[in-house]
Amino acid sequence: MVLDAREDFLQLRQLNNFVLHIDAKRINRRNAMSHKGYCDNCGRETKVVRLPTGGGGGVFLCRGCWAKEMSWRKQRNKTLAKSSRFSIKKYPG
């Protein structure tokens, strides 16, 4: 009886780990792709995508703010040394 209960417990734990693993994968995919959320720049609730900002950080931006950020970067890059220029990324959504 005691052993059976322990096995059940272990199986349940394994199942739980499996579910957590799936969730983490889904969350990662959600971060990479566009989804409905709040834009970190303008605060509008709309379709947003994650722009990595380095060091594991990132911001969620709507299409308009993404475009603004990229045109700001292009302007900035004109006055920056090659080694410190921002990368220009196409809106992935």
Report the interface residues with Zn ion, using CB under 5 A: 39, 41-42, 62, 65
Q: Which residue has the tokens 């609730």?
A: 45
Nearer to Zn ion, 46 or 77 (CB): 46
Pairing of strands 35-38, 45-54: antiparallel
| Amino acid residing at 64 | G
Bridge partners, residue 46, by sequence: 37
Q: How many residues does the chain have?
A: 93
Taking the complex as a whole, the smallest distance from the CB of residue 83 to Zn ion amounts, in Å, to 30
Residue closer to Zn ion, measured from CB, 22 or 42: 42
For the bound state, the minimum distance from the C-beta of residue 40 to Zn ion, rounded and expressed in Å, comes to 8
Please, what is the minimum distance in Å from the beta carbon of residue 75 to Zn ion? 19
